[in-house]
Amino acid sequence: MSGGFEIINPVAQVPANNEGEGVSRGRVNSTEGLRVGLLDNGMPHAGDFLNHIGHAFEERYKTSLLMRRKSYTARSAGGELLDEIAENCDAAITGFGV
Amino acid sequence: MEKRGIPTIAVVGKGFEKAARSFGRAYKLPELRLLLVDDTVAHQGGDELLQLAVGGVDQVVEEWGKGAGDTNGSASQEEWGETLIVEGGYLDANQLLLEMELTDGLPVIPPTPELVEQFVAASGRSGSEVIARLMPLMGNITVDRIAANAVMAGCTPNVMPILVTAIQAMGAEEYRVNHVVTTAHTLFPLIVVNGPIAGEIGMSDGRDLSAEGWRPNATIARAMRLLMYNCMSEPGLHSTTCQGHIGKVADAITENVAHSPWEPFHVEMGFRESDSVVTVMTVEPLQMVDDHSAVSAQGILANFGSQMATSGNRPVFGPAQHMLIFGPSHANKAAQGGFDKDMIRRFIYEVYRIPVNAYPPESRERWSDWKKMLYGTNTMENATIPVVEDINDILIVVHGGAGPNSFFAPGINTHKSVTKKIE
């Protein structure tokens, strides 16, 4: 076979109109006095990292912190946990990994 | 969190950026806020971790300050098109697919329309039928896309019903395909085919689990891996596993029913013997169970048990299924000793347990709630923990040829195998 030929693309097409509406992002306008949620996903040292960055925010911007950890690394955080952070925080940091 | 109106940034190792953005698109958040960090430093801790965290503050503030301008849904990949044009011959097609990061690195058969059409016809379905949309890509996994990847893997058309059913099974919530595709943990789907179709397509039921010389065994698992590359994750996101393993591209088996003392696995699962059935189970690399000095049923089962009852792997931290792949010799010796599958499960569950004090204290903090409740960290130091939380999570199949050898296939926390009849 030479001179060129066609092959089927093996990649699944992602519909342009994937179900549902896109998420509208909020914005932090001021960091002073911000309430920051820290969600540890359970990976090694994730809690240490979040503590470090949380304390840096405390020192620099006088933020308050709410630290929580998922029950299991490879599972999504439960709705109650997310609700708690949403109700008590203005912004959040999660990690590590996905 | 963003859906709840809370600006949120995810701290992600650089090696996981593609996976993270893929999840973002799947969750309708194409402009995911990320703080990318060096993977190695992130997982080593120490002063460098502190510097990494403090150094990330400004970027976190900057990302939090980005707002509503980017509100569109998942990005379209229409630009990929239905077909690709190759200039040249087969070798050029291979080079093109390799450069587009759509292969596993080994040569593939170019999926020409004629070949794909043959495979679609063998499925008995329409090429445009969407079989599933799986995380994190959430693309349309159509019959013709399954066929294209099957052609590339070197399959024969008659495996199409197995691949279609395996994709359907991986769509079950309990299978948790998103984790298998994006984790650093070396995990892969072990595919077990039961019923008449296994013999009809010429799968090996013995001799060489890892598929040497057996085209269906070798190519079914490879096709599934290509489908994971091309239809479940972002193109180019081949794997995020820390090490990887050859089993990821080569473990598809069928039971050696003729030399098994027990009923076939699919019959145990409630299907008729005449049904053709596919099981997908997420496993870590398989471990050999092989002690030639053990010749009694109890001795052989002790080897399985001691292989399983270790504290140094994650599956024992929470609820997980494990599969025991008995070689026919081991299976028949166990049966001659009076053990059916339920007795094997009971024997291993009761006798081969993990001492609580085998776990470092920090590991116990990560136990499941079930383990914490029963084996709290400050009491019962002499207690022992079973290898599974539910005795029925020890799955048993018979596969292999001659020889006193078996495999233990460790599962992973919170994943369940899925067994589905080929329709």
How far is B10 from A85, CA to CA, in rounded Å?
Answer: 15
Q: Is the pLDDT of residue A33 over 70?
A: yes
Which residue reads 């109650």 in tokens? Answer: A80
Residues 5-34 of B with CB under 8 A from A: 5-13, 16, 19-20, 23, 25-31, 33
What was the pLDDT predicted at A57? 94
C-alpha torsion angle, residues B50, B55, B57, B59 (rounded to 10): -140
Write the CA distances from B105 to B87, B236, B301, integer angstroms: 20, 12, 39
Establish whether this prediction's ipTM goes over 0.85: yes
Residue B370 pLDDT: 80
Contact at 8 Å (CB) between B13 and B38? yes
CA distance B289 to A7: 44
B174 vs A: CB within 8 A: no
Q: Which residues of B touch A13 (CB under 8 A)?
A: 77-78, 80, 139-140
SS in 3 state form for A18-70? CCCCCCCCCCCCCCCCCEEEEEECCCCCHHHHHHHHHHHHHHHHCCEEEEEEC
Kindly report whether the global pTM for this prediction surpasses the value 0.90. no
At residue B87, the pLDDT reads 93
Please check whether residue B72 touches A, CB under 8 A.
yes
pLDDT at A67: 93
Q: Which residue has the higher pLDDT, A15 or B97?
A: B97
Model pLDDT, residue B208: 58
Q: Which residue has the higher pLDDT, A44 or A18?
A: A44
Which B-chain residues 250-309 have CB contacts (< 8 A) with chain A? none
- Residue contact B232–A37, C-beta within 8 A: no
Residues of A in contact with B137 (CB under 8 A): 12, 14
- State how far the Cα of A8 lies from the Cα of B60, in Å rounded to an integer: 42
Distance of CA A71 to the CA centre of its chain: 16
Residues facing residue B295 across a β-bridge: none
**B290-313 burial string, b = 16+ CB within 10 Å, else e?**
eeeebeebeebbbbbbebbbebee
Contact by Cβ (8 Å): B221, B254? no
Which residues of chain B neighbour A9 with C-beta distances below 8 Å?
80-84, 148
Cβ contact B128:B141 at 8 Å: no
Give, in order, the Cα–Cα distances in Å from A40 to each of A58, A97, B65, B367.
Answer: 18, 10, 22, 16
Name the band, by pLDDT with cuts 50, 70 and 90, for residue A97. low
> How many other CB atoms sit within 10 Å of the CB of residue B374?
15
Q: Note the pLDDT of residue B207.
A: 66
Task: Flag whether residue B319 sits within 8 Å of chain A, measured between CB atoms.
Answer: no
Mutating which of B2, B3, B11, B35 best tests the A interface, going by the most A Cβ atoms within 10 A? B11
The residue to which tokens 């970027």 are assigned: B59
Residue B270 tokens, joined: 């409630």
Q: Chain B neighbours among A 53-72 (CB < 8 Å)? A: 53, 56-57, 60, 71-72
Strands (E) located in B227-311: 252-254, 277-283, 287-289
- Partner B contacted by A92 (CB < 8 A): yes
Across the interface, do B64 and A91 touch by the CB < 8 Å criterion?
A: yes
B413: distance to nearest CA of chain A, Å?
8
Asked if A43 is an interface residue toward chain B (Cβ–Cβ < 8 A), one would say yes
Closest CA of chain A from B28, distance in Å: 5
pLDDT for res A1: 52
Q: Please answer yes or no on whether B112 and A8 come within 8 Å at the CB atom.
A: yes
- pLDDT tens for the 423 residues of chain B, in order: 888 889 999 998 888 888 888 788 777 777 889 999 887 666 677 888 888 888 999 999 999 998 766 444 444 444 567 899 999 999 999 999 999 999 999 999 999 999 999 999 999 999 999 999 998 888 999 999 999 999 999 999 999 999 999 999 999 999 999 888 888 788 899 999 999 999 999 998 876 555 678 899 989 999 999 999 999 987 776 777 788 787 777 789 999 999 999 999 999 999 999 999 999 999 999 999 988 888 899 999 999 999 999 888 777 778 899 999 999 999 999 999 999 999 999 999 999 999 888 888 777 777 777 877 777 755 566 788 899 999 999 999 999 988 899 999 999 988 999 999 999
Distance from CA of B4 to the nearest CA of A (A): 6
- Give, to the nearest 10 degrees, the angle between helix A46-61 and helix B57-64: 80
Name which of B244, B215, B83 is nearest B155 in CA terms.
B215
Q: Which tokens is A65 given?
A: 């912190």
What's the confidence (pLDDT) of residue B420? 98
Q: How far is B151 from chain A (nearest CA, A)?
A: 10
| CB within 8 Å: B49 and A28 | no
A13 DSSP 8-state letter:
B
At B211 the pLDDT is 61
The pLDDT value given to residue B411: 94
Query: With contact defined as beta carbons under 8 Å apart, do A14 and B73 qualify?
Result: no
Q: Would you kindly state where each structural domain of chain A is located, as residue ranges?
A: 35-94
